[in-house]
Structure 1
Amino acid sequence: MASKGPAAGEGTGKDSGSGDGSAPRSGSGDIQRTIELLWDTGRRPSRGPRPALTLDRIVEAAVRIADAEGLDAVSMRRLSTELGTGTMSLYRYIPGKAELLDLMLDRVQTPADEPEAFDGGWREAVRLGAHEQLALYGRHPWLLLVNQARPVLGPGTIGSLERMFGRIRPMGLRDPELLSVIMLVDGYVTGVARSHVHAVEAEQRTGLTDADFWQAQEPQLTKAMMSGRYPQMASLSEDTFGPDFDHFTFGLERILDGLELLVSARSSGTTGAGPAGPVGSVGSAG
């Protein structure tokens, strides 16, 4: 998603990717301007008619396009068509695609209203957070394509972290450990979601369903299993690779079981953990 400059209708001098085929990146635009836009701290005109176009409308339209057609479909020119305005008009509100991406990321990660305090216990809190994140990737699969090693934190992302820290505070762990819990679950959910998205994309790209794909390999795989060279694989039950087993829930519950051992050890006065290592990104996935 390299920028080509306003004259080309594609962005400013900085882009949301590297221009070399690598993943689009958060935090790759004008950071100070992005912060102003995220937190609404920029200067506003005090006079004149109310503009027909707003930053909210631009961001909402960009998210809508990305959800329907993928992140590559989002361009300043496409947005101008979607919003019924001139391309150059967009630059009165946002410098370019890099800053727009950061606003999109923060918008989709804004948590829904929680009318009352969560009291389901820390284990249910982690479970709920994992399912909420999986649903987020289902609604916005393009999130998985963004390198968020350097997220620009806005009210949406901060609000999401605020909620999660509040929900898991009863674990009784140190703050860096609570952050590590969030990162652990984030990494697990992201991996599962990415595998699902890749499977969907493969079917769309090739026209082959999963069933067709594996059926094409069945004759050779049957011969391999009968050769005696792979006794462990040949002895697996017929339902091993079937669709009925819930791998996501199984893995998540094992993570929760491990965390429960730690929480129990802490509550009983034993250490239950080694020294913490370096802390990575607190943004969503990528």
Structure 2
Amino acid sequence: MSPTPQERRAARHQLGTGSGTPAARRGPSGGRKRPITVDAIIDTAFGIVEREGYEALTMRRVATALETGPSSLYAHVVNKEDLDELLIGRLCTGIELPEPDPDRWREQITGVLGRLRDRYLRYPGISRAAFAAAPSNLDTLRVSEGMLALLLAGGVAPQAAAWAMDSLMLYVNAYCLEVSLAESRLGRGDGGWVVSRDELLRRFAALPDTFPATKRHAAELTAGTVHDRFDFTIGLMLDGLATG
């Protein structure tokens, strides 16, 4: 008897993501179509997200792109949540983790977070797949393990390191989602919600005098790129960690 999707998922957690047994194609064009495997499903899902955004990703949409029915996907992937976990795991496979250096731990963990950010931003909205998900994929856990080791090497107490790792990942996810939403609105020509720095300065200058701090410090409020703010926030969070 073939393993169930749930059994396949459990095996992936023990052995890493494999391509799985290809599902047979039926019909006159079956031999010319790409076999249905876990890797084929992941690749197709990423293509959809890259072209159309995460909101467009559904099991039915993936099945259509693979010229099959949703039931063929469920032979390999349990459900949409399982697919989300596979996508985040695939992104994490490309994250380089340095050997922890107590003298450079801040630089090292900032680099890991920056690499994760850049991979998320390639696929608009993909960080939504990481929200409210208990880490169980081995590729995702590898990154968590590496980050925890860096924090501990820096002298951060174990409990603080554990919660800091969770907070840092949450910030990366939220940052990438916000950037993706802004770019999506710009792509739709929705300029009323995403405006330039010059326009923000004009709006702040036009505020009534009941907003004295905002008017006085408009330049500071609008300064820097989004990545400048990313680096600042990561630094701020790391500054708050007491080290031994």
Report the TM-score, using the length of structure 2 for normalisation: 0.71
The CA deviation string for residues 166-187 of structure 1, in whole angstroms up to 9 with x for no partner, is 3333123333222122123223
RMSD: 3.6
Matched AA of 1:69? E
Q: Which residue of 1 aligns with 2:180?
A: 197
State the 1:143 CA deviation: 3.1
Number of residue equivalences: 224
SS where residue 240 of structure 2 aligns? helix
Give structure 1 regions of 4+ aligned residues with deviation exceeding 6 angstroms.
Answer: none
Change (3 A) 1:74 1:252: closer
Equivalent-residue separation in structure 2 for 1:110 and 1:165 (angstroms): 17
State the 1:67 CA deviation: 2.7
Larger RCO, structures 1/2 (Cα 8 Å, 6+ apart): 1
Q: Which residue of 1 aligns with 2:28?
A: none
Q: Which residue of 2 aligns with 1:36?
A: 11
State the 1:131 CA deviation: 1.2
From 208, 214, 230, the equivalent of 1:233 is 214
**2:116 paired with 1:133:** yes
From 156, 162, 165, the equivalent of 1:179 is 162
SS where residue 149 of structure 1 aligns? coil
The CA deviation string for residues 213-265 of structure 1, in whole angstroms up to 9 with x for no partner, is 974994x754434xx33332332254541445822222322333333xx21xx
State the 1:203 CA deviation: 1.9
Q: Which residue of 1 aligns with 2:31?
A: none
Answer whether contact 1:122 1:170 (CA < 8 A) is retained.
yes
Matched AA of 2:116? Q
Equivalent-residue separation in structure 1 for 2:176 and 2:14 (angstroms): 30
Point out the structure with max Rg over C-alpha.
Answer: 1
For structure 1, the residue ranges without an aligned partner over 5 or more in a row are: 1-29, 267-286
For structure 2, the residue ranges without an aligned partner over 5 or more in a row are: 25-33
Equivalent-residue separation in structure 2 for 1:133 and 1:236 (angstroms): 32
SS where residue 129 of structure 1 aligns? helix
The CA deviation string for residues 135-172 of structure 1, in whole angstroms up to 9 with x for no partner, is 13212342332463342501111111122223333123
Report sequence identity in percent.
22
Change (3 A) 1:55 1:166: same
**2:138 paired with 1:155:** yes
Equivalent-residue separation in structure 1 for 2:176 and 2:135 (angstroms): 23
Matched AA of 1:61? T
**2:31 paired with 1:62:** no
Equivalent-residue separation in structure 1 for 2:116 and 2:52 (angstroms): 21
Change (3 A) 1:171 1:152: closer
Q: Which residue of 2 aligns with 1:145?
A: 128
- Deviates most, 70-79 or 208-217: 208-217
From 229, 235, 238, the equivalent of 1:253 is 235
Equivalent-residue separation in structure 1 for 2:147 and 2:155 (angstroms): 14
